[in-house]
Amino acid sequence: MNKVPFYDLRELHAATGTQEEIDAAVLRVARSGVYLLGPELDSFEGAFAEYCENSHCVATGSGLAALELALTAMGVGPGDEVIVPAHTFVATWLAVSATGARPVPVEPGDDSFLLDTDRLEAVVTPRTRAVVPVHLYGHPVDLDAVDRFAGRHGLAVVEDAAQAHGARYRGRRVGSGHAVAFSFYPGKNLGSLGDGGAVVTGDADLAERLRLLRNYGAREKYVHEVKGTNSRLDEMRAAVLAVKLPRLDGWNERRRAVAGRYTEAFAGLPGLRTPDVAPWAEHVWHQYVLRTPHRAAMRDRLAGAGVDTLLHYPVANHLAPAYAGQGVEPDGGLPRTERLAGEVLSLPIGPHLPDESVELVVDAVRAAALDLAAAAV
Ligand SMILES: *Cc1c(COP(=O)(O)O)cnc(C)c1O
């Protein structure tokens, strides 16, 4: 039987002719004798800043570290509150917690996965220091609304773009803002052969502080200006990213075509909601996420048809053991977030997914939705 794996990195590199160039880059670095803070990193940082239509890129050891260091470099620390979406990958929250600040969750909009910018005012307190909008699944947040809000209250904005490399908001690249954190985890739209991340910024002073923080607080060996950490993108991973970056726009284009096919094919199916795209958004479809109240049954049927699915994310952060019982959520809880956690269902999507696989997914989802609706009558 044909199978559709959720995301197959070997296939991505092989099917797009990228593997040979990756191999050559890895070998070049292996034989270079320079493994950290060298020419491959400089070159990739320059290329990625330019791709993001911004002036500085400071690469880090992971996306989580990029978020944490950006918040720290902007003065967030113990005693502060940082507004985050309730519905996001836990790393957004962990980055805030790592600075010593407290994450303050905001529910998603009515028919959206993204933080509801109309709910931001309600959670501001004198301790609020920053807001972290997350371009979840590759769909940009309404950044003008976030900036107006942050401007009114004098808050820092650190964007979490770990899932949104290449997306555009009103024509502007996600990454062109003041402080934007990315992840290069292998499964992201732009991923390396291991962990990696970056902060992209237009602020030269912020970039300088980040360069200190990622390298033991030192510009020069043994001159430790601040209490920094060790979080650097190594030469091998930087070289691999430089190979993949020129392909990113084409890969995102293919993701958009697959998403378009899914949305068209699933229109009007009972018990299913397809993801919306705002008119001002250029979505890069890191995930294609359906909502269905019959998720478990749907997942079983898709698995039976050879279609792998994943859940982004099955447990709301405020209910995870790491945060449960600590009073993070407001009185009245976070009902929309909890409901989403029970309904989200991610389908295979990727630049390398051939049309046959896309049609296999389409047929399996249609059959399952119709079948489940008939059984419910
Ligand atoms: C992947 C991800 C991160 C963390 O990135 P890592 O490189 O895995 O540390 C942060 N936020 C979001 C939304 C992510 O998807």
What is the reported pTM? Answer: 0.98
| Per-residue pLDDT at 356 | 96
Pick among 3.40.640.10, 3.40.366.10, 3.40.50.970, 1.10.645.10: CATH of 9-106+114-246:
3.40.640.10
| pLDDT (average), residues 207-228 | 95
CATH topology of domain 248-376: Aspartate Aminotransferase, domain 1 (3.90.1150)
| Omega before 185 within 30 of 0, i.e. cis | no
Q: For residues 278-294, b (16+ Cβ closer than 10 Å) or e, as one string?
A: eeebbbbbbbbbbbbeb
With CA atoms as reference, report the closest residue to 113 among 93, 83, 91, 133.
Answer: 133
231 in ligand 1 pocket by Cβ < 6 Å? Answer: no
- Condensed to tens digits (0 to 9), the pLDDT of residues 105-143 reads 999 998 899 999 999 999 999 999 999 999 999 999 999
Tokens in use for 256? 């958009």
- Condensed to tens digits (0 to 9), the pLDDT of residues 298-334 reads 999 999 999 999 999 999 999 999 999 999 999 889 9
| Burial of 374 per CB tally in 10 Å (0-12, 13-18, 19+) | exposed
For residue 207, give every residue at least 6 positions away whose Cβ sits within 8 Å of its Cβ, in sequence order, or none: 56, 58, 199, 201
Output the CA–CA distances (angstroms, integers) from residue 55 to 161, 184, 196, 366, in the order listed.
Answer: 17, 19, 20, 46
- Condensed to tens digits (0 to 9), the pLDDT of residues 153-174 reads 999 999 999 999 999 999 999 9
| Per-residue pLDDT at 16 | 87
Mutate to test the pocket of ligand 1, among 163, 184, 189, 317 (most ligand atoms within 8 A of CB): 163
| Per-residue pLDDT at 260 | 98
Mutate to test the pocket of ligand 1, among 94, 183, 193, 231 (most ligand atoms within 8 A of CB): 183
Statement: residue 376 has pLDDT above 90: no
Output the CA–CA distances (angstroms, integers) from residue 262 to 113, 256, 342, in the order listed.
Answer: 18, 10, 21
For tokens 């209910």, name the residue.
Answer: 319
| Per-residue pLDDT at 93 | 98
Q: Are 62 and 86 in contact (CB under 8 A)?
A: no
- Distance, in Å, from the CA atom of 223 to the CA atom of 237, rounded to the nearest integer, reads 27
| Per-residue pLDDT at 2 | 65
For tokens 């992209």, name the residue.
Answer: 200
| Per-residue pLDDT at 224 | 95
| Per-residue pLDDT at 15 | 87
| Per-residue pLDDT at 299 | 97
Residue 63 CA to ligand 1 centre (angstroms): 5
Residue 367 CA to ligand 1 centre (angstroms): 34
Query: How confident is the prediction for the chain on average, in pLDDT?
Result: 97
With CA atoms as reference, report the closest residue to 246 among 64, 89, 16, 59.
Answer: 16
- Distance, in Å, from the CA atom of 361 to the CA atom of 367, rounded to the nearest integer, reads 10
- Distance, in Å, from the CA atom of 304 to the CA atom of 372, rounded to the nearest integer, reads 14
User: Band of the pLDDT at 211, cuts 50, 70, 90?
Assistant: very high
Q: Helix 355-376 vs helix 295-304: angle between axes, to the nearest 10 degrees? A: 130
| pLDDT (average), residues 181-208 | 98
| Burial of 336 per CB tally in 10 Å (0-12, 13-18, 19+) | middle
For residue 21, give every residue at least 6 positions away whose Cβ sits within 8 Å of its Cβ, in sequence order, or none: 243
Domains 9-106+114-246 and 248-376 share a fold: no
Mutate to test the pocket of ligand 1, among 84, 92, 96, 344 (most ligand atoms within 8 A of CB): 92
For the chain, domain boundaries = 9-106+114-246, 248-376
| pLDDT (average), residues 241-260 | 98
Supply φ then ψ for residue 190, to 5 degrees: -120, 105
- Distance, in Å, from the CA atom of 338 to the CA atom of 203, rounded to the nearest integer, reads 37
